[in-house]
Amino acid sequence: MSNPSLLYNYMPSPFGQLELAATHDKLYSLRFESEYLHTVQRNEIIEKTQQQLKEYFAGSRLYFDLPLDDDGTLFQQQVWQQLRCIPYGTTCSYGDIAKTIGRPKAVRAVGAANGRNRIAIIVPCHRVIGANGSLTGYAWGLSVKTALLNHEQQVQHLAKGNTFAN
């Protein structure tokens, strides 16, 4: 179902093609999409998003500075805000998020809100893992989640001046 007020564009990433959707002044969604489902359009928000994503994939951007259309319930917005607070290259559990927002028993609800996040990478739901440290579901597959986490950890490792052992 298409929203006629949204503009769409696509860009390649090291982990698959990305579909960007924006209103005239906010990023609405960012998701992995293998097909062009909409007519390609441009605006300032899409261009800024593409530039920041290129910097992220190149390892020179650790934080995003974009206006987001994160319309959702108050609870979802609390969870999504907390996702944006997870430091680059690190992970936390659903339980950690539930505790941080003052709802320690709402672990499943946090998982549901995490799953409804429509702005991948920028609202980093890929940084949320199970309480036991295991990787849990990701809308675009655990291989993409693993690749994103590995990318961030490698960038951090290189930024500390370390080199990889062969």
CA atoms of 124 and 117, how far apart (whole Å)? 9
Residues 128 and 86 in one domain: yes
User: Which pairing describes strands 27-32 and 18-22: parallel, antiparallel, or unpaired?
Assistant: antiparallel
Question: Is 127 found in the same domain as 84?
Answer: yes
Number of domains in the chain: 2
87 and 127 in a single domain? The answer is yes
Residue for token pair 């298409």: 2
Each residue's pLDDT tens digit, 106-147:
999 999 999 999 999 999 999 999 999 999 888 889 999 999
Q: Does residue 143 fall inside a structural domain?
A: yes
Residue 142 belongs to a domain with what CATH number?
1.10.10.10
**pLDDT tens for each residue of 62-103:** 999 999 998 999 999 999 999 999 999 999 999 999 999 999
* Rg of the chain (C-alpha set): 16
Provide the residue range defining the domain that includes 23.
Answer: 7-58
| Residues tagged active-site | 125
Alpha helices in the chain (DSSP H): 44-58, 74-84, 94-100, 107-115, 142-159
Whether residue 66 lies inside any domain: the answer is no
The answer to whether the predicted template modeling score (pTM) of the entire model surpasses 0.95 is no
